[in-house]
Copies of this chain bind each other. A is one copy, B any other.
Amino acid sequence: MENKRPLILICNDDGVRARGIIHLARTVSSLGDVVIVAPDDAQSGKSSALTVNAPLMLAELPELDGIKVYSVTGTPVDCVKIAIHAVLDRKPDILLSGINHGSNAAINNIYSGTMGAAMEGCILGIPSIGYSLQSHSPNADFDPLTPYIVDITKKVISEGLPEGVCLNVNFPARCNPKGIKVVRGAHGHWTEEYQDFATPHGTPFYWLTGKFHNLEPDNPETDEYWLARQYGTIVPIRPDQTATDKIDDITELFRN
């Protein structure tokens, strides 16, 4: 048996040309053999969606500093599945997704294509991490994240993660984090979700916008609390959404 370097699969939802994924690939290139398999265009808000009723095309792009780069005409989850099916010759040792341009804290985990990819890796038994920066600025500075990403990634490569659990890592917008907190996602939901328009012919239409309504802004057990205070956050995420602690309650509810 040859002594192989760790195989690192990188995906995202902002597309293969996004600054965040390029920064991530360069950041971890010293830790193993990196392969990028990412959507050919922006796939924000795609959650764990997969392409059921259309073909997927895979393209090999020019290498990035010796890193192999592939694009897929699909969602982040499609990218992970195609990477396993058609690109990699063995199961990767770790899957990294991001760095997302924008927050995936709190309930945003469920809408996030970045976390869709990370959760797909987890479902397939690969230790998986999603990285996000709370900034949509085209000039966002990813450099201050580098030592945190290296530390977290190295630790997970060497120690693994609990079975069935992946990590949702978020960094604050002004990005010199004061430190890192392991917490849970804040409870909340979006409000004022649409801006209303009318076509030139008077037909109404709607465009998604909205504000996140945090139900517990003062709770230090939550990611939003620490992100607002310039800390990075790590939330352990379980793709299996069964509320096992409520099975007895629901059983009781339906016992006539």
Which positions in A face B, CB cutoff 8 Å?
42, 44-53, 55-58, 75, 77-78, 81-82, 84-86, 107, 109-111, 116, 119, 123-125, 151-152, 155-156, 159, 161-162, 164-165, 167, 180, 182-185, 187, 189, 193-194, 196-197, 203-208, 234-244, 246-247, 249-251, 253-254
**Bound form: Cα–Cα A51–B78 in Å:** 18
**Bound form: Cα–Cα A84–B46 in Å:** 21
**Bound form: Cα–Cα A116–B234 in Å:** 24
In the complex, which residue of chain B has the Cβ closest to the Cβ of A183?
Answer: B247
Choose among B44, B81, B156, B241 the residue that contacts A237 (Cβ–Cβ < 8 A): B241
Copy tally for this chain in the complex stands at 2
Given contact pairs A156-B253, A167-B250, a sample of 13 additional A-B residue pairs in the complex whose CB atoms are under 8 Å apart: A47-B47, A49-B49, A50-B111, A81-B194, A82-B206, A84-B193, A109-B241, A125-B189, A162-B250, A182-B250, A185-B241, A234-B250, A236-B250
**Bound form: Cα–Cα A251–B236 in Å:** 10
Whether A208 contacts B51 by the Cβ 8 Å rule is yes
Choose among B42, B184, B234 the residue that contacts A244 (Cβ–Cβ < 8 A): B184
Q: How far is the CB of A116 from chain B (nearest CB, A)?
A: 7
Top 7 closest pairs, chain A to chain B, by CB = A47-B47, A238-B243, A47-B48, A236-B243, A49-B49, A184-B242, A236-B246
